[in-house]
Amino acid sequence: MNCAACGSGDVVPWAHARDVEYQSVPDTFAFVRCRACGALSLEHPPTDRLDRIYPENYYSFAAADDGAVQHVKDWLDRRWFRSVTRKLPGAALSALDVGGGSGHQLDALRRADRRVARTVVVDLDRGAEAAAVAAGHEFVRARIEDADLRGPFDVILVLNLIEHVADPGAVLRRVRDLVSPTGMILVKTPNIDSLDARVFRHRNWGGYHCPRHWVLFTQESFASAARRAGLRVRSWSYTQGAPFWTVSILAWLDAIGATRVNAQRPAWQHPLYAPLAAVFAAFDFLRRPVSRLSQMTFALTQD
C-alpha cells in the first residue's frame, strides 16, 4: 500500500490493533509507517463498514459531557480559539466546523469571540442536524470534499477529523480553498511521537482508535502534509492526550481480565474512564513544558 499522508510506497509494518473501545468488528488491523514522511496508515481501512465501526453509542454522537474533565477541555479550547481569533480583522466572523456534529465546538468558539456570527457544520451524522440547527448553526450533511458551501470562512475547525479520512490531502486542499485570505484553519490531531504511543505501541494504544483512525501524524509529517496542500503552519503546540492514556489502560485491564469493556459498555462509558482521564490530564499538564504529548494543535493559513 501507499502512505495515506504523502503517497509514498516506502512503508514498513508498525503495529497491529483491534477495536478495544467498542468491539464493533472482530478484525485485527495493521498499521504501517511511512519511511518517507513518518506518518502511520491503516492497512485496508473498513470503508464499507462505517455503520458498524461508528455504532449508535459512539462518543461523538452523544450530548457533550458535563463532567470536570470536559469543562477543563472546553476552557482550554476557548483559550486557544481566543488566542487565534483576536488576530483576525473584521466586525463579524464566519466559522465552519468540519465533522462538527451538533456544533459543540462552534458554541465554544462563539463564547470565545462574540464577533462570530455565522456558523456552519459539515457532518455526515443525520442525528446531529436537529441539535446543530437548534443551537443556531447551519448544517450541511455531506463530506467536506463534496459539500456545497457558501464561503469563504474566517475560521475553519478541523478538530480530531483529519485522522479519520482516507485522503487527508484532499481535505486540507478543500479547506484551503474555503478559508478567507486572512482566515485561520485550526487542526487538532493525535501525535504518534509521544510517551503513551511508545509505551502502548503493541498494546492497542488509545490513539489508534482502531479502526476509525486511518492516518496518524507526527508534528513534522503533518506540517509536511499541510505544505503540500498549499497551507502554511502559523503556530502549533502539543496538548494533553488523557483519553488516549485512559483507553490504553482500560484495554490493558480488559486484556488481563481485571475489568470489562464491550459493545454495551464502551470505554468512554466505563466507570473508570472519568477518574483515569482526570489523572492523566493532570499528568500531561505537569509534563507539557518538556514533553511531546499525544495530541497536537495547528493554526494554518493559505500559503
Among the residues of the chain, which ranges form H helices? 50-53, 68-85, 104-112, 129-134, 168-178, 195-199, 219-228, 242-255, 273-287
pLDDT at 76: 83
Per-residue pLDDT, averaged over 229-239, amounts to 97
Per-residue pLDDT, averaged over 34-51, amounts to 96
Other C-beta atoms within 10 Å of 171: how many? 23
pLDDT 10s digits, 179-203: 999 999 999 999 999 999 999 999 9
Amino acid in the structure at residue 84? V
The CA-based diameter of the chain, rounded to the nearest angstrom, is 57
Identify the bridge partners of residue 184 per DSSP, sorted by sequence position: 155
pLDDT at 68: 66
Burial of 29-64, coded b for 16+ CB within 10 Å and e otherwise, reads bbbbbbebbbbbbbeebbeeeeeebbeeebebeeee
pLDDT 10s digits, 127-153: 899 999 999 999 999 999 999 999 899
Percentage of the chain exceeding pLDDT 90: 90
pLDDT at 9: 97
Per-residue pLDDT, averaged over 234-261, amounts to 95
Among the residues of 7-86, which ranges form H helices? 50-53, 68-85
Confidence of residue 61 (pLDDT cuts 50, 70, 90): confident
Q: What residues contact residue 114 under an 8 Å CB cut-off, 6+ apart?
A: none
Q: What residues contact residue 257 under an 8 Å CB cut-off, 6+ apart?
A: none
pLDDT at 141: 95
Cis bond before residue 55 (omega within 30° of 0): no
CB 172 within 8 A of CB 233: no
Distance CA 75, CA 112 (A): 9
pLDDT at 74: 83
Cell of 111: 463564547
